[in-house]
Structure 1
Amino acid sequence: MTQTAQLSPSSVFVVSGGAKGITAECTIRLAQQQPCKFILLGRSELLEIEPDFAQDCDESALKKRIMENLLSQGEKPTPMSVQKIYNKITSSREIKKTLAAIQKTGAKAEYISVDVTDTQALQEKLATSVQRMGPITGIIHGAGNLADKLIEKKTEQDFEKVYTAKVQGLENLLTCINPSQLQHLVLFSSVTGFHGNIGQSDYAIANEILNKSAHLIKQNYPSCHVVAINWGAWDSGMVTPELKKVFQERGIEVIPIAAGAQMLVQEINSATDATAQVVIGSTLAPLATELDSQLRTHHIRRQIILADNPFLLDHTIAGSPVLPATCAMSWMINACEQLYPGYRLFYHKNFKILKGITFNESLAKEHILEIEEISKVSFESIELKAKIWSKNAEGKIHYHFSAQLNLRQEIPIGRPYESINLEQDNIITATGKAFYQNGGSTLFHGPAFQEVQKVLNISPEKITTECFWQEISDKQQGQFPVQWINPYTIDLSMHGLWIWTQHFYQEACLPGRVEKYEQFVATPHNKPFYVSCEVKAKTATSAIADFIIHDRQGQIYSRMLGAHAIIWSMKSLRS
């Protein structure tokens, strides 16, 4: 692991595509963190002085002014000619705004109008700029083009447009610097290069070449901090409200501009450069494809190792780490969704905990997830049975979990929760960490599964909690990552029933089985959500409840119906 060079006022970055859009926002944030020197590259022309008709005119009235000017010159305005002049003026304004924002931080910045695929022009113009700014110590390559089409409709020109901006652009930039002086190389790649995406075969190829180039350059120049950032979708002008809604329906989170820019700064300022490639943001979910008619059975083998799953240390019962039932369920769900791209879980039913997985001397060396296809309807739904089992040393099979799953191409919209009640009755006044203290007097869970923020109200029939799950790292999640389903928030959602049984009966409970679980929208993390737990029955040995997970307005994220819990004494859980 190599120590990375730190930024200083003398650092000089050349930033392709850096005068407008997302790359510009990232550059401004970097300048705010460490004022240094920036050479911004772009194809747009920078107008030193705007035409008279455009001066003191805001963008809402600019097109009208352009048409009036063309008419005054005896020219007939067309949508294309007006748009061309409009783009030229507004692009120049955006460039000036970016330069001003950078210079406001105390940094130095200048702009070069050049196409990074033009080798000679780039070399000549950068050489002139270097005489003023000093030797280049960093490159941020953010230039890129799109030409989204299905592969059979792509032309050679489409491919060249997309490919050369990324790949030829990087090659040309590297010819303009002394490799021994380069301290930072940041490549703006995309999750499309990592996961692929329909209509973007050329874009995927170009970005994956950037990824591989980062690894190769790092091998050849180990003292240079090299990283290819595989960005997801940004919350920018390109993501319209309509597209954002589609992303939400497909479980794709967009990257807020401020958060993404800060992530770039953190990558550049990382004390070490352990990896030359990082993925930031959600994957672009693939579209569903036609299914064949044959019904198959799949077997997926996995070694579940305590050291690879640090979160398990926060789920210890009677002295031993225990796999949460929600994590076993998420393994089933994630595996099914990977087998059938474009389909996601809508519901599962008859989920049973048969013999849990405890990390002690009885832990099997290998666990098998068996997935049996029951029915398939292309572009609609898939019905599956799933079991997790293992064999002991004598070859005897032990079944641990089972369920029936329904995957859909389109997830129905959930109805608002009609019985919502967020009024506080102040019967239980404990908050946050207090529920998880005192050796698990109420809840035994560690930080990965916390926390219930507060109990809003409680009665013999119902308990309503406000919850907040602080996202844990990918390393902590280990083999059970958050995807469409979040096993950690689902586990957290059930804590209200623990508090209810402890409050009314001084008892604890553990999950036994779930009649049905439905998910309409991904449960949020790093912000509050609410759980309304309706208790349906209580006996000396069990409790049955429905859990509705929703937002403050009652819009349902998911719901767990007919959750059967087994009553335990608190003493037995802690012993």
Structure 2
Amino acid sequence: MTTQTQVRPSSVFLVSGGAKGITAQCAIKMAQHQPSTFILLGRSEVLETEPDFAQDCFEESVLKKRIMENLLSQGEKPTPMSVQKIYNKIASSREIKNTLVAIQQTGAKAEYISVDVTNVAELQNKLAAAVARTGTITGIIHGAGNLADKLIEKKTDQDFEKVYTAKVQGLENLLSCVNPNQLEHLVLFSSVTGFYGNQGQSDYAIANEILNKSAHLIKQQYPQCHVVAINWGGWDSGMVTPELKKAFAERGIDIIPVDVGTQMLVNELHPAHHATTQVVIGSPTIRPPAPLEPELRSYRIRRRMTVEANPFLHDHTIAGSPVLPATCAMSWMINACEELYPGYTYLSCKNFKVLKGITFGENSPQEHILEIQEIAKAESDFIEFETTILSNTTTGKTHFHYKAQIKLVRKLPEAPIYEDVNLTEDNIITTTGKDFYQNGDSSLFHGPAFQKIVRVLNINPTKITIECFWQEITAREQGQFPVQWHNPYTTDLSTQALWIWLNHFHQEVCLPGQLTHSEQFRTVPCNAPFYVSCEVENKTATGVTANFFLHDTEGKIYSRILGAKAVIAPMNLHKRK
């Protein structure tokens, strides 16, 4: 049994790259949470006294003007490079001093050592003196790093060495200065670049992925230590200009606010996360899409689908047999199209039809085929596809299962507002939660992966409004149909409103048949409430047509399904034949 150690007043943290930038902000937040001792490392020097011309001057343009005047007074010709170098030295020294003051104001102790973490001899020598003052180092936060962004064919050996050694050799050198058996916390500042990759950062990706793997290895060797590699995304710091923020937003990349990110570090150090060795905090760095080629291409994708590979199917059995939800078929179509064109996002599905549902049993086909045909595209705007899922029997007969037209767009439109929101409770249907499911002949047949309707808020002869809460299932349970931009599980859950309406007014139940038009504007929440307003358009002896609007409390739409047609089905669908 391992000991789960909290950060204590007696904790002593060695923080590389810790006196400036984001790592410094993290150290300050940690000190605010629990004042302890921090040894900050960095290559910059601290000026004991600033030059006279810099005294009480804090505006960049004014200080640079004084630097130029000082150089001229000494008979030197100021150049942009020489002025910037002096300015950086002064600004860097000030930032380090401010970091030390901010930490010390919390009641914590802090000191700074100017040292290059890639120089092991100098590092060990200077740390030995510091430890004599602070006591044994109990934690390491490795935040040092360098960048040399270039396409791989333009990178030099020096570029690679600069980036790689700061991360990898730096970690090795830091660990050489500490008795690992006394180490209680090891935090490695890795990057989403190591996890997802990024153009121009092959060396940075390699170095950070080595940090990730090192975290797992060290955790195996020293299970008593709280080890975590945090794969950070981009921070909302001074390096991210408003223009860059806009560019990131257009590429779907979220920026981490400093207050949020630093608090997340504090949270990760809680003993409850002792077993979590790697965490990703940030968006993948998706590069802009390549220019579209005018040729309309076609694709065939083969997939072997089994119940074993898709455990959620156990929660979608009809008359005793696992059946692929129509929403999962749609999700396969959508995800495949998105994978063909990174940077384009699913917006709509038209004319989706269930031709012959996929049931799993002894006579199931060995594989299913997704055919994709591009039918239209416009540069930096949209791409449309005709998609079909089919299978072939052992005798050569072809079964067509699903058809749909999928549209991807470069930029999603603003989410519309559902104007007829009504969240008042009429208490006509008082059933709640799991009691809607597998609880009688006319109850919903769905298992936990496709639950749950929390409650029916109101119902009348033309409309029903429900509150939903889908608790995310594991990646293993999702199998070959993972939640991405489109969520097949919440989409299926939303259509269950029509089942309840039909059963309440007509004592009948239904299964999906086709839909005219479906659109998605926002991610449907997981592990949080959302609402479905279902408007019934038409009811016949054999079917029912309705529109579904998935929205929040204010009516802002996540997605909508228009012209959905369901067929009347037998009762007792959850029972085995």
TM-score range (shorter-chain normalised) is 0.7 to 0.9
Say whether the 8 Å CA contact 1:347–1:518 is kept in structure 2.
yes
Aligned to 2:489: 488
Aligned to 2:572: 571
Say whether the 8 Å CA contact 1:326–1:491 is kept in structure 2.
yes
Mean Cα displacement is larger for which, 249-258 or 549-558?
249-258
Structure 1 pair 68–341 and aligned structure 2 pair: CA distance change class (3 A): closer
Does residue 284 of structure 1 match 2:279?
Answer: no
Aligned to 1:261: 265
Mean Cα displacement is larger for which, 34-43 or 536-545?
34-43
**May I ask how many residue pairs the two structures share in their alignment?**
560
Structure 1 pair 184–93 and aligned structure 2 pair: CA distance change class (3 A): closer
Q: Specify the SS of the correspondent of 2:489.
A: helix
Q: Give, in angstroms, the shift of residue 199 of structure 1.
A: 4.5
Say whether the 8 Å CA contact 2:192–2:233 is kept in structure 1.
yes
One-letter identity of the residue aligned with 2:472: E
Q: Specify the SS of the correspondent of 2:573.
A: helix
Aligned to 2:94: 89
Does residue 63 of structure 1 match 2:58?
Answer: yes
Say whether the 8 Å CA contact 1:5–1:183 is kept in structure 2.
no
One-letter identity of the residue aligned with 2:514: R
Q: Give, in angstroms, the shift of residue 20 of structure 1.
A: 5.7
Aligned to 2:501: 500
Aligned to 1:7: 5
Say whether the 8 Å CA contact 2:350–2:518 is kept in structure 1.
yes
Structure 1 pair 358–157 and aligned structure 2 pair: CA distance change class (3 A): same
Q: Specify the SS of the correspondent of 1:123.
A: helix
One-letter identity of the residue aligned with 1:63: F
Q: Give, in angstroms, the shift of residue 82 of structure 1.
A: 7.2
Say whether the 8 Å CA contact 1:19–1:99 is kept in structure 2.
no
User: 1:376 and 1:16 mapped to 2: Cα distance?
Assistant: 50
Mean Cα displacement is larger for which, 161-170 or 6-15?
6-15
User: 2:289 and 2:60 mapped to 1: Cα distance?
Assistant: 48
- Per-residue CA deviations over 1:178-213 (Å, capped at 9, x if unaligned) read 456656644322221222223434432332343454
Structure 1 pair 360–98 and aligned structure 2 pair: CA distance change class (3 A): farther
Say whether the 8 Å CA contact 2:537–2:547 is kept in structure 1.
yes
Aligned to 1:391: 392
Q: Give, in angstroms, the shift of residue 306 of structure 1.
A: 2.8
Aligned to 1:548: 549
Say whether the 8 Å CA contact 1:543–1:564 is kept in structure 2.
yes
TM-score calculated relative to the size of structure 1: 0.80
Aligned to 2:350: 349
Aligned to 1:422: 422
Say whether the 8 Å CA contact 1:388–1:401 is kept in structure 2.
yes
Structure 1 pair 462–5 and aligned structure 2 pair: CA distance change class (3 A): same
Structure 1 pair 197–470 and aligned structure 2 pair: CA distance change class (3 A): same
Say whether the 8 Å CA contact 1:66–1:86 is kept in structure 2.
no
Mean Cα displacement is larger for which, 386-395 or 217-226?
217-226
User: 1:65 and 1:247 mapped to 2: Cα distance?
Assistant: 27
Say whether the 8 Å CA contact 1:249–1:521 is kept in structure 2.
no
One-letter identity of the residue aligned with 2:433: K
Give RMSD over aligned pairs.
4.3
5+ residue gaps, structure 1, are none
Q: Specify the SS of the correspondent of 2:499.
A: helix
Q: Give, in angstroms, the shift of residue 447 of structure 1.
A: 3.3
Say whether the 8 Å CA contact 2:381–2:410 is kept in structure 1.
yes
Structure 1 pair 322–198 and aligned structure 2 pair: CA distance change class (3 A): same
Mean Cα displacement is larger for which, 301-310 or 259-268?
259-268
Aligned to 2:130: 129
Aligned to 1:433: 433
Q: Give, in angstroms, the shift of residue 505 of structure 1.
A: 1.8
Q: Specify the SS of the correspondent of 1:139.
A: strand
User: 1:42 and 1:508 mapped to 2: Cα distance?
Assistant: 68
Say whether the 8 Å CA contact 1:498–1:509 is kept in structure 2.
yes
Structure 1 pair 91–359 and aligned structure 2 pair: CA distance change class (3 A): farther
**Residues 76-475 of structure 1: matches in 2 within 5 Å?**
85=90, 88-98=93-103, 101=106, 103=108, 111-136=112-137, 138-146=139-147, 162-178=163-179, 185-214=186-215, 227-233=228-234, 250-252=251-253, 256-257=260-261, 260-261=264-265, 264-265=268-269, 269-271=273-275, 279-417=280-418, 419-428=419-428, 430=430, 433=433, 436-437=436-437, 439=439, 442-475=443-476
Q: Specify the SS of the correspondent of 1:63.
A: coil
User: 1:392 and 1:351 mapped to 2: Cα distance?
Assistant: 23
Structure 1 pair 511–137 and aligned structure 2 pair: CA distance change class (3 A): same
Structure 1 pair 239–69 and aligned structure 2 pair: CA distance change class (3 A): closer
5+ residue gaps, structure 2, are 73-79
One-letter identity of the residue aligned with 1:261: L
- Per-residue CA deviations over 1:472-506 (Å, capped at 9, x if unaligned) read 33333232222121222222222222222222222
TM-score calculated relative to the size of structure 2: 0.80
Q: Give, in angstroms, the shift of residue 328 of structure 1.
A: 2.0
Q: Give, in angstroms, the shift of residue 266 of structure 1.
A: 6.1
Say whether the 8 Å CA contact 2:315–2:447 is kept in structure 1.
yes
Structure 1 pair 200–54 and aligned structure 2 pair: CA distance change class (3 A): same
Q: Give, in angstroms, the shift of residue 288 of structure 1.
A: 0.4
User: 2:294 and 2:65 mapped to 1: Cα distance?
Assistant: 63
Structure 1 pair 127–396 and aligned structure 2 pair: CA distance change class (3 A): farther
- Per-residue CA deviations over 1:374-411 (Å, capped at 9, x if unaligned) read 34444333222222233344444333322222222222
Structure 1 pair 257–317 and aligned structure 2 pair: CA distance change class (3 A): farther
User: 1:305 and 1:27 mapped to 2: Cα distance?
Assistant: 49
User: 2:241 and 2:292 mapped to 1: Cα distance?
Assistant: 32
User: 2:190 and 2:64 mapped to 1: Cα distance?
Assistant: 42
Structure 1 pair 506–98 and aligned structure 2 pair: CA distance change class (3 A): farther
Q: Give, in angstroms, the shift of residue 457 of structure 1.
A: 3.4
Mean Cα displacement is larger for which, 425-434 or 454-463?
425-434
Q: Give, in angstroms, the shift of residue 433 of structure 1.
A: 1.3
User: 1:433 and 1:50 mapped to 2: Cα distance?
Assistant: 68
One-letter identity of the residue aligned with 2:556: Q
